[in-house]
C-alpha cells in the first residue's frame, strides 16, 4: 500500500462542526453519541456511537433518484 496525501481541517461552532477536505466542505451537528452530517458530495449520514469508546455506527441516507 502506497502513501496517500490527505487534507482535513475542522472548526467547531457550538454543537455544529464545519469540515474542509480535499473533496469539499461538510457540515455536521449533534450531541455526544449522536451526529447528523451533510457530506461534501451531497450525501447525508447519521452517526451513533458510545462516547469515549471509539465505537460508532454510521447509516448513510441515500439520495433520491431524479427518475420517477
Give residue-wise pLDDT tens across range 15-60: 899 999 888 999 999 998 999 999 988 899 999 999 999 999 999 9
The predicted pLDDT at position 28 comes to: 95
Angstrom CA distances, 9 to 18, 20, 24, 57, 66, stand at: 8, 5, 11, 22, 32
The predicted pLDDT at position 45 comes to: 94
pLDDT band at 67 (very low <50, low <70, confident <90, very high): low
pLDDT band at 62 (very low <50, low <70, confident <90, very high): confident
pLDDT higher than threshold 80 for residue 11: yes
Amino acid at each position: 500500500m502506497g502513501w496517500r496525501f490527505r487534507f482535513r481541517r475542522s472548526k467547531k461552532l457550538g454543537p455544529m462542526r464545519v469540515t474542509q477536505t480535499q473533496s469539499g466542505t461538510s457540515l455536521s451537528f449533534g450531541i455526544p453519541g449522536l451526529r447528523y452530517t451533510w457530506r461534501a458530495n451531497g450525501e447525508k449520514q447519521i452517526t451513533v456511537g458510545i462516547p469515549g469508546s471509539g465505537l460508532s455506527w454510521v447509516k448513510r441516507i441515500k439520495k433520491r433518484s431524479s427518475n420517477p
